[in-house]
């Protein structure tokens, strides 16, 4: 059987698939290598048959009187994708558990999403107490009896399933990162997945090799990397986990033409020693989110292609794409034909914020009035919601409008800019702003590897700016040199200079490589890491000693704000 690709569909005048089930069935009989994992290869036909067997298993084991939810607690391995395919074909929803969560939190994730079955393996079964999951069938897929049971099911034709054929059926629930609050189970329909698979495809075709080392429980992996090769019939290379030191070797071994990333992954790759073999890779493109401009440019110098980025909420309510005309630091514009109007709004009264004004050096002159919440007006239908969490949904919806929870601003040309997560907003001396523009400035500091800006309480009123700084390997922090660097940044707002600077060996990150600012805010200056502070208005930094901390705590107590330090 020849591989069916998007181009062939369009040329033949065929209708595009509208469900994930249709995409899986299309791979049946395809002998092209579909999945590569370490030293194991699977054809697309192998994948489709594995998915069909699991769809019959689910049809037999799921109680039709209960929500058809399958929890999966696995690290990256092909079995994750086989069960994903089984859910697509049977009309069940796969609830993707985060294996970095532990104890009661993980148990609550399973119970709150009404999972009837939980898939584990020999590596993850010890992460959760089965006795705390009444009514949940916990299946260890590495057990011999489970393999035998699966082999007894038909692999030639999936069961009849009306939900699987309905584009509105929920296919996956993937938890938000939890970097700024408790994780929520964001729902994604089978129709939305099919639309992502068939939209654009980034110029990739059946001959391309897509490489994913991001965790499969995150939407970036499923929508940003798995979807396209499944539709196009290309090859999907799955790494067990991300490794900066192994990245180049994998690109060369598998002849990778595309990869995806999230968060600070490019920074970790670029921290590796430069090698001559970087010029031998076959990369055509890369896609990700939140990489600094500096890292994208440096990656282009070393590997020959500049990654492209877009902004998209996990919930599907808002999306921005970049073009050749997009300013370097901007997110871009909504995609052509979007069924909503993007805006920057005041979340209280839903009024639009004024456009951003910039000074001669590019400094944001009106951050207080220009920064607001990124929103999609008229996008209620594109937001598929959080499972059984009406309170969280109410935070995202205002009438027919979707609020992203992220901060941003918009320039006179209409381009949108990211200004931080909702929890990144700071109020210093009565002025409101956010951390992302400051992080972009600190990113220019030659010795900075990674930077995170976040609010900590001021002892009198509002917040103070705190910076967590990870230095380039082998470099030490020079407080005088850093102060001089800040003095030279013409676009640094008058209230933006960090009051406190924490020097870390490695910034804490979530499982999806996003900086865990919730943990940083909780620590504030209570840490064994070196912390520097700026006592006056100038950018002169000194080491924060125990005596300074004691005096700081006394001032918090005197002002009645000591309880803020315990939040």
HSE-CB at 505 with a 13 A cutoff on CA atoms is 3
Given this model, what pLDDT does residue 12 score?
Answer: 52
Given this model, what pLDDT does residue 2 score?
Answer: 36
- pLDDT tens track of the chain, all 567 residues? 334 444 445 445 568 999 999 999 999 999 999 999 999 999 999 999 999 999 999 999 999 999 999 999 999 999 999 999 999 999 999 999 998 887 888 999 999 999 999 999 999 999 999 999 999 999 999 999 988 889 899 999 999 999 999 999 999 999 886 555 578 999 999 999 999 999 766 689 999 999 999 999 988 899 999 999 999 999 999 999 999 999 999 999 999 999 999 877 898 899 899 999 999 999 999 999 878 888 899 999 999 999 988 888 777 789 898 888 999 889 999 988 888 999 999 988 999 999 999 988 888 889 889 999 999 999 876 789 999 999 889 889 988 999 998 889 999 999 999 887 777 778 887 677 888 889 989 999 999 999 999 999 888 878 899 999 999 989 999 999 999 999 999 888 888 999 999 999 999 988 777 888 889 988 999 999 999 999 988 999 999 999 999 999 988 888 777 767 765
Q: Residue 193 and residue 12: Cα distance in Å, rounded?
A: 23
Show the tokens assigned to 256: 């990778």
Tens digit of pLDDT for each residue in 266-315? Answer: 988 998 999 999 999 999 999 998 788 888 999 999 999 999 888 887 77
Q: DSSP letter for 280, please.
A: G
Q: Residue 491 and residue 364: Cα distance in Å, rounded?
A: 7
Q: DSSP letter for 2, please.
A: P
Q: How far is CA 554 from the centre of its chain?
A: 40
Q: Residue 494 and residue 538: Cα distance in Å, rounded?
A: 10
Exposure of 205 by Cβ count < 10 A (0-12 exposed, 13-18 middle, 19+ buried)?
Answer: middle
Q: Residue 542 and residue 561: Cα distance in Å, rounded?
A: 24
Given this model, what pLDDT does residue 380 score?
Answer: 77
Q: Terminal CA-to-CA distance of the chain, rounded, Å?
A: 60
Helix (H) or strand (E) holding 69: strand 69-72
CA angle 424, 491, 484 (to 5 degrees): 100
**b/e 56-77 (16+ beta carbons within 10 angstroms → b):** bbbbeebeeeebbbbbbbbebb
Q: DSSP letter for 271, please.
A: T
Q: How far is CA 141 from the centre of its chain?
A: 27
Q: Residue 563 and residue 456: Cα distance in Å, rounded?
A: 13
Nearest to 329 by CA among 258, 410, 445: 410
Q: Evaluate whether 504 touches 468 at the Cβ level (below 8 Å).
A: yes
CA angle 357, 362, 366 (to 5 degrees): 30
Given this model, what pLDDT does residue 1 score?
Answer: 37
Nearest to 81 by CA among 124, 38, 127, 42: 42
**Domain residue ranges in the chain:** 6-241, 330-424, 431-566
Q: Residue 376 and residue 154: Cα distance in Å, rounded?
A: 45
- For the whole model, what pTM was predicted? 0.81
Given this model, what pLDDT does residue 353 score?
Answer: 96
Count of beta carbons in the 10 Å neighbourhood of residue 241:
11
Given this model, what pLDDT does residue 177 score?
Answer: 65
Q: Evaluate whether 71 touches 62 at the Cβ level (below 8 Å).
A: no
- Architecture of the domain spanning 6-241: 3-Layer(aba) Sandwich (3.40)
Q: DSSP letter for 141, please.
A: T
Q: Residue 186 and residue 405: Cα distance in Å, rounded?
A: 14
Which listed CATH number (3.60.21.10, 3.40.605.10, 3.30.300.30, 3.90.850.10) goes with 431-566?
Answer: 3.30.300.30
Give CA separation, 311 vs 54, 179, 190, 342, in Å: 34, 17, 21, 12
Count of beta carbons in the 10 Å neighbourhood of residue 391:
8
Which spans in 339-491 are helix H?
367-370, 390-396, 436-442, 479-487
Q: Evaluate whether 184 touches 112 at the Cβ level (below 8 Å).
A: no
Long-range contacts of 483-488 (CB under 8 A, 24+ apart): 483/534, 483/538, 483/539, 483/540, 483/541, 484/539, 485/444, 485/445, 486/539, 487/539
Given this model, what pLDDT does residue 555 score?
Answer: 86
Which residues is 420 bridged to in the sheet?
Answer: 407
Decide: helix, strand or coil at residue 24: helix
Helices H, strands E: what count in the chain? Answer: 18, 26
Q: Classify the C-alpha dihedral 442-446-448-449 as positive or negative.
A: positive
Show the tokens assigned to 119: 């898939």
Given this model, what pLDDT does residue 337 score?
Answer: 82
What's the CATH class of domain 330-424? mainly beta
């Amino acid at each position: 059987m020849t591989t069916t690709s998007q181009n062939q569909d369009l040329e033949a005048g065929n209708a595009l698939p509208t469900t994930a089930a249709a995409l899986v069935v299309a791979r049946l009989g395809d002998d092209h290598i579909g999945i590569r994992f370490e030293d194991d290869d699977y054809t697309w036909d192998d994948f489709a048959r594995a998915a069909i067997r699991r769809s019959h298993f689910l049809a037999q084991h799921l109680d039709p009187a209960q929500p058809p939810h399958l929890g999966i607690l696995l690290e990256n391995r092909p079995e994750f994708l086989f069960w994903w395919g089984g859910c697509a074909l049977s009309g069940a929803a796969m609830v993707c558990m985060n294996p970095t969560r532990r104890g009661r939190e993980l148990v609550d994730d399973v119970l709150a999403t009404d999972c009837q079955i939980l898939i584990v393996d020999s590596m993850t079964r010890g992460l959760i107490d089965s006795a705390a999951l009444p009514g949940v069938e916990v299946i260890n897929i590495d057990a011999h009896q489970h393999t035998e049971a699966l082999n007894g099911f038909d692999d030639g034709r999936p069961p009849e399933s009306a939900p699987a054929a309905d584009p509105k059926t929920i296919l996956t629930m993937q938890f938000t990162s939890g970097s700024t609050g408790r994780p929520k189970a964001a729902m994604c329909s089978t129709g939305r997945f099919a639309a992502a698979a068939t939209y654009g495809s980034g110029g990739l075709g059946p001959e391309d090799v897509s490489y994913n080392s991001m965790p499969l429980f995150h939407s970036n992996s499923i929508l940003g990397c798995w979807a396209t090769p499944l539709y196009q019939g290309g090859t999907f290379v799955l790494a067990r986990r991300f490794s900066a030191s192994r990245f180049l070797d994998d690109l060369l071994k598998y002849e990778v033409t595309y990869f995806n990333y999230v968060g600070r992954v490019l920074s970790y790759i670029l921290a590796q020693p430069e090698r001559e073999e970087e010029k031998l890779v076959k990369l055509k493109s890369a896609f990700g989110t939140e990489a600094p401009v500096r890292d994208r440019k440096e990656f282009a110098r070393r590997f020959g292609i500049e990654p492209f980025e877009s902004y998209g909420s996990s919930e599907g309510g808002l999306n921005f794409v970049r073009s050749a005309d997009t300013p370097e630091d901007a997110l871009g514009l909504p995609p052509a034909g979007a069924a909503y109007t993007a805006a920057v709004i005041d979340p209280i009264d839903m009024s639009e914020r004024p456009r951003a004004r910039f000074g001669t050096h590019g400094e944001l002159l009106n951050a207080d009035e220009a920064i607001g919440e990124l929103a999609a007006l008229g996008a209620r239908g594109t937001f598929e919601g959080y499972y059984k969490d009406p309170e969280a949904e109410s935070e995202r919806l205002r009438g027919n409008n979707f609020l992203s929870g992220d901060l941003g601003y918009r320039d006179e040309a209409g381009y949108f800019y990211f200004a931080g997560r909702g929890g990144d907003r700071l109020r210093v001396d009565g002025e409101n702003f956010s951390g992302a523009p400051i992080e972009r400035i600190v990113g220019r500091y030659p010795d900075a590897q990674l930077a995170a800006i976040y609010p900590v309480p001021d002892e009198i009123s509002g917040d103070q700016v705190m910076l967590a700084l990870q230095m380039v390997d082998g470099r030490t922090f020079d407080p005088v040199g850093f102060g001089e660097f800040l003095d030279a940044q013409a676009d640094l707002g008058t209230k933006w200079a960090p009051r406190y600077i924490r020097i870390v060996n490695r910034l804490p990150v979530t499982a999806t490589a996003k900086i865990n600012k919730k943990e940083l805010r909780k620590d504030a200056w209570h840490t064994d890491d070196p912390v520097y502070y700026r006592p006056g208005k100038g950018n002169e930094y000194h080491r924060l000693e125990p005596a300074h901390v004691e005096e700081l705590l006394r001032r918090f107590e005197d002002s009645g704000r000591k309880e803020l330090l315990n939040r």
